[in-house]
Homo-oligomer: A and B are copies of this chain.
């Protein structure tokens, strides 16, 4: 079904929040972020912890503690974040790792899908947290958006 988990969403929201210019202090607590965006605190906390362990965030404990970015937002890509939280991105189970699915030997779409997979990785890798702040997600090829026709149930094409 090709979608990100909520955890990944939460992680991106949090990172973007921390990357945005903020009036008061540079850091923000999990609670603060959770309340701002109506995210369940314990869940967000876990996500932040994982992001911390993976080196995207640093944390400070105690009163007025919180999280802050461990490196410039320009140098954190959406791909890294998603992969950290959701685990490796997999388009099909075929090439998860070495594990073979029942097809694998006979699978004839494996190779083409691998390329699609790589294109998606490349896309996600090209977007940084800073880009999210600017709201200017680069448009790799700036071809027109997918036409409406292709969004309708496929029948007469």
Contacts and interface: CB of A to CB of B under 8 A. Distances in A.
A107 B115 CA distance: 32
B141 A112 contact: no
A6 to B, nearest CB: 7
A154 B5 contact: no
Interface string A1-43: 1111110010011001100100000000000000011110000
A87 interface: yes
A154 B3 contact: no
A36 to B, nearest CB: 7
A60 interface: no
Number of copies: 2
Interface string A54-66: 1110000000000
B12 A109 contact: yes
Contacts of A112: 127, 131-132, 135, 137
28 contacts: A1-B5, A1-B90, A2-B3, A2-B86, A3-B90, A16-B108, A16-B109, A37-B107, A37-B108, A38-B102, A38-B106, A39-B102, A55-B154, A55-B155, A55-B156, A75-B157, A80-B154, A112-B137, A116-B124, A116-B127, A118-B145, A119-B123, A120-B123, A122-B143, A122-B145, A125-B146, A125-B150, A140-B141
